[in-house]
Structure 1
C-alpha cells in the first residue's frame, strides 16, 4: 500500500513497535529458513503473531513506519502465488521476494527481516502495486518462475566479498559510467515486470541503465549458497524505496530483479506503463512454455 508520510502503528501484546535492536553476529541457515517459512504463513493468514519476534520490533513499509496488525500488507491475508527466500547467516537476515497476483489488489514485495536470538526484530518491506514502476504482477510471476536460482555447488561459490562487489558495481554504474560491471552472458533483468531476456545465449542486462542516479543507503542480504545479493536502497533524487536482487554465477551477474515503489507518482513520473507496453510489446517477451 502507498503511505503518505509516517503512519500510526498499533502496538499489540508483544509490544511490536519501538527502537531497533542490533542484529546478532551470525546464525544458522536452519533458523533463518524456519523464520522465513513463518513469515510466509503469517502473510498468507494476515496474522503477524505467527512469526517468532523479540520484545521490541520495528515494522516499516517503503521506509516509513507502518503496522503489521492494522493497515499494513502483513495485516491482510494474501494468496501468495510465488516466493523466493535468501538467507544471510553472517548478518542474520532474510530477504523474501513475494508475488501476489490477486486481480483485486496485486502486489510484489521485497521484505528484509533482521533476526536477533530466535526471532525477528525488524521488518522492512518494499511494496510495489498498481501504478508503481513497470508494475504487472502476473508478468513478473511469468518470468520469475522460469529462472534457475538454485544452490551453487560448494566448489563454485563466490565469497561474500565477491558477491557484494559485483552487486555494488552494477549499482555504482547508475552514477559512474566508468565502473566495470562483471556482466554475465546471458544475463536477464526483471525490472518491475519488464524483462530483458529473450531466452537467447546473448541476452544482456547492459541495456537501459540510466545515469546520474545515486543508489543510496544500501542494506544487504548476501546468500553465498544461492549466489545472491539483495539490496534495499533509496533510489535517485526522490529517494524512492527500491530493492535490487542479484544472482551471481562464477563472479558474473546472471539475473537482476527490481522492486520499486513510486509513492504518489504513477510509474515514477513516466507515462502510464500500459501505454509503454502498447507501443513496445517487446517489454514483455513471450518465452514459450
Structure 2
C-alpha cells in the first residue's frame, strides 16, 4: 500500500562529500577483501564491496573492511558490554562482516551467532538458517554504522536473493563476542521507490570516520534524526539540513533534503542508533502510523552538525509492529 501523498519522499542519499576523508573503494565484487589492520580507531562507516574474505577489520577511514573470524559457529558464552573487546569499533565491524560472509555462503556456523539469538525478517521471527539464509548471494555493497554504546551495528547492504538484487537494512547486537539479535529489513521490487542499482550507484559516497572537529555528539546525531521524523507531523520543526543535502529514497529517487515532505504523517515505533566517529545515525520506524505503518529505516549522515546525506529503505506493506520493543 502506498501513501496517497503527491511528491512523498522518504530518504536515502544526501551528497555531502565534503568530508576530508578519501573515498572508500568498492570493487562491487565478493571474492576477496582488501586492507586489514588490527589496531587504531577502526574502519569508517562505509564498507563497500565484498564481505567474504578472512581479513581483519580495517583501521582508519576510507578503507574497505573485511570479515574476521571473531569466533565461528554459534556460542552461548559471555555477557559483554561497552568495555569488552567485542564492543570496540573493530570488534563490531568484524562481527558484521563475519555475519554477511556466513549469510552469503548459507552457513550460520561461520558467524558468531549465539544459540538463543532472535532473528526477524520484515518483522517476522525466523529461525537462523531460514529465510534469506537460504537465498542470499555475495554482497555487492555494504555501508554500516557502529554504535559502541549499544554494542550494535546497522548496515545498508545490496545483495542478490535468488539472483535478483535486494536492499537490506541489517541491525546486529553483540554481547560477549556473540551476536544475540539480528533484525533484517529487506526491500524488493514493488517496495517504496525500490531500485537496487540506485544504491549501487551511490557507492562513491563517503560515509567514513570523520575528523574530530567535524563530529557531532551522540545526542546531536539522534536529535537530528528525531527532528527529521518530527517535521512530517509538525512543520515548525527545523531539521539541521546542511548545504547540498540530498536524499536517496529506495534507490530510485533523489531529491534535496527539504523537498517533498508531506504534512500530517505519523511516524511511530521509533528506535535509534548512532555512530559518533562517523557522524551517522539511523532510525528504525513504522512510517505512517503507530500501529499500521510501513517498515522503514532512515540513515542520516552529519558533518559539522548538519545533515548532508539521508538514505532510506521502506517495505511497502503495513505492519503493527517492527518485531522489536519500541524503545531500545
Same fold, TM-score > 0.5, yes or no:
yes
How far, CA to CA, are the matches of 1:101 and 1:211 in structure 2?
35
Count, aligned residues: 241
Name the structure, 1 or 2, with higher relative contact order (CA <8 Å, separation 6+).
2
How far, CA to CA, are the matches of 1:254 and 1:225 in structure 2?
15
Mapping for residues 1-289 of structure 1, pairs under 5 Å: 24-25=81-82, 27-70=87-130, 72-100=131-159, 104-142=163-201, 144-196=202-254, 204-237=256-289, 238-263=292-317
How far, CA to CA, are the matches of 2:140 and 2:315 in structure 1?
20
Equivalent residue of 1:206, what SS?
Answer: coil
Cα 1:102/1:138, change in 2 over 3 Å: farther
Q: CA deviation at 1:214?
A: 1.8
Q: CA deviation at 1:218?
A: 1.5
How far, CA to CA, are the matches of 2:208 and 2:90 in structure 1?
17
* TM-score, with length taken from structure 1: 0.77
How far, CA to CA, are the matches of 2:80 and 2:156 in structure 1?
21
- When structure 1 is superposed on structure 2, of 99-108 and 126-135 the one drifting more is 99-108
Q: CA deviation at 1:14?
A: 5.2
How far, CA to CA, are the matches of 2:170 and 2:242 in structure 1?
26
How far, CA to CA, are the matches of 1:75 and 1:119 in structure 2?
22
How far, CA to CA, are the matches of 1:37 and 1:104 in structure 2?
21
How far, CA to CA, are the matches of 1:141 and 1:119 in structure 2?
30
Q: CA deviation at 1:190?
A: 0.6
Cα 1:264/1:174, change in 2 over 3 Å: closer
Cα 1:36/1:96, change in 2 over 3 Å: same
Q: Kindly provide the CA deviation profile for residues 132-153 of structure 1, in whole angstroms up to 9, marking residues without a partner as x.
A: 11111112211x2121212210
Contact 1:48/1:75 (8 A) holds in 2: no
Q: CA deviation at 1:49?
A: 2.2
Cα 1:44/1:227, change in 2 over 3 Å: same
Q: CA deviation at 1:167?
A: 1.1
Partner of 2:53: none
Structure having the larger proportion of residues in helix: 1
How far, CA to CA, are the matches of 1:35 and 1:28 in structure 2?
11
Partner of 1:276: none
Contact 2:75/2:112 (8 A) holds in 1: no
Q: For the aligned residues, what is the CA RMSD?
A: 2.4
Q: CA deviation at 1:253?
A: 0.5
How far, CA to CA, are the matches of 1:74 and 1:85 in structure 2?
20
How far, CA to CA, are the matches of 1:54 and 1:43 in structure 2?
15
